[in-house]
Amino acid sequence: MTAMATPLSSLTRPAADPGAALRVHGVASLGPALDAAALATARAAFAEVLDQAVTGGYAQIVHDAWRKAPALAALVPRLGRLACAATGLPEVVLFHDHLLNKLPDGEDMAWHQDYSYLPLDRPDGVTLWVALDDVTEANGCLFYLPGTHTAGELRAAWGMYGDDDPRAALPPIAVPPDEPGLAAPTPAGGAVVHDTLVLHRSPKNRTAAPRRAWALSFVAAAARWSPRHAPHPRSAVEPRAEGQPLEDDLLRVPAG
Ligand SMILES: O=C(O)CCC(=O)C(=O)O
């Protein structure tokens, strides 16, 4: 008889076995990922590049922050090793990263899968989300629906090209309106890792202070570009072919 997976009841404490939690629930709290010095470095870099942010209703976003701030690039190996440990991959590639400055009283971010927005031919990867402030339910922590990664890819929550978008034919995201999901409050320097297919949302910041975070998309080295799968800031300015290998100049992190 196969043992039933125990439902996840909390994301407030680091997972005892992040790899198992990621596999079963699609999300795992990792606990501290940046020590005090690294956190100070990341915050200083955040301040330096914030003027390069694009402003959306949901947050100010600095895309590809590691290319803009060498201090952030220097922190990527330690975070990539956490991604390798959680996924079991021998190596991960930093496909994309972004800094998020969630200003007070912005918009809610709806339930979505990160893979909907990755122009890649497979969902093999994770988002490593690092809190740069103490992130709570009040200032807009992430909320998850554990286990939803096993249902496969769903219709993109927003941002489709039109009816011929391949994502339009997928089953819609159907989460009851009264389903809050499981909150993942995370102290500054702490991280949460999630599967690119797990449903998550991020409500608005209801405090008076901005809320800072750094989200890194680590993917399997075998993944290939698929601009047809999803729009992406980089494929829009520098066109990529279907099936093109990931660029050599992306940061690659072997397991430690
Ligand atoms: O609120 C955040 O920092 C993360 C939002 C999110 O889910 C995303 O960028 O995919």
- Domain assignment present for residue 128? The answer is yes
Ligand 1, atom 2, residue with closest C-alpha: 202
Q: How confident is the model at residue 103 (pLDDT cuts 50, 70, 90)?
A: very high
Ligand 1 centroid from CA 184, angstroms: 12
| Residue 144 near residue 184, CB atoms below 8 Å | yes
Return d(Cα 26, Cα 19) in angstroms, integer. 10
- Domain assignment present for residue 247? The answer is no
Phi, psi torsion values for 50, nearest 5 degrees: -60, -25
The number of domains in the chain is 1
- Domain assignment present for residue 244? The answer is no
Helix pair angle (76-87, 18-25), 10° resolution: 70
- Domain containing 177 equals 18-237
Ligand 1 centroid from CA 70, angstroms: 23
Mean pLDDT score of the chain:
93
3 state SS of 131: strand
pLDDT for the residue numbered 51 = 97
Say if residue 3's pLDDT is above 70: no
Query: Is 69 a pocket residue for ligand 1 (Cβ < 6 Å)?
Result: no
- Domain assignment present for residue 199? The answer is yes
| Residue 70 near residue 234, CB atoms below 8 Å | no
Q: Which residues pair with 192 in a beta bridge?
A: 29, 129
Higher confidence at residue 83 or residue 161?
A: 83
Q: How confident is the model at residue 1 (pLDDT cuts 50, 70, 90)?
A: very low
Q: What number of other Cβ atoms are within 10 A of residue 139's Cβ? A: 22
Return d(Cα 55, Cα 102) in angstroms, integer. 10
- Domain assignment present for residue 250? The answer is no
Q: Which of 142, 158, 186, 218 to mutate to test the pocket of ligand 1 (most atoms within 8 A of CB)?
A: 142
Return d(Cα 61, Cα 160) in angstroms, integer. 20
Q: How confident is the model at residue 247 (pLDDT cuts 50, 70, 90)?
A: very high
* First and final C-alpha spacing in the chain: 36
Q: Residue 204: give its domain's CATH number.
A: 2.60.120.620
Ligand 1 centroid from CA 3, angstroms: 33
Query: Is 118 a pocket residue for ligand 1 (Cβ < 6 Å)?
Result: no
Return d(Cα 170, Cα 72) in angstroms, integer. 36
- Domain assignment present for residue 42? The answer is yes
Higher confidence at residue 172 or residue 163?
A: 172
Dihedral of the alpha carbons of 147, 224, 246, 225, in degrees to the nearest 10: -100
Ligand 1, atom 10, residue with closest C-alpha: 114
- Sorted by sequence, the CB contacts under 8 Å of residue 221 that are 6+ apart come out as 89, 91, 92, 93, 246, 252
Residue with tokens 């397991």, as numbered in its chain: 255
| Residue 226 near residue 119, CB atoms below 8 Å | yes
Query: Is 202 a pocket residue for ligand 1 (Cβ < 6 Å)?
Result: yes
- Domain assignment present for residue 144? The answer is yes
Tell me the per-residue pLDDT of 49-99, one tens digit each, with 9 for 90 and over: 999 999 988 999 999 999 999 999 999 999 999 999 999 999 999 999 999
- Which two tokens mark 199? 């449903």
Tell me the per-residue pLDDT of 127-151, one tens digit each, with 9 for 90 and over: 999 999 999 999 999 999 999 999 9
- Domain assignment present for residue 249? The answer is no
Return d(Cα 125, Cα 147) in angstroms, integer. 16
In the chain, % of residues over pLDDT 90: 83
Higher confidence at residue 108 or residue 159?
A: 108
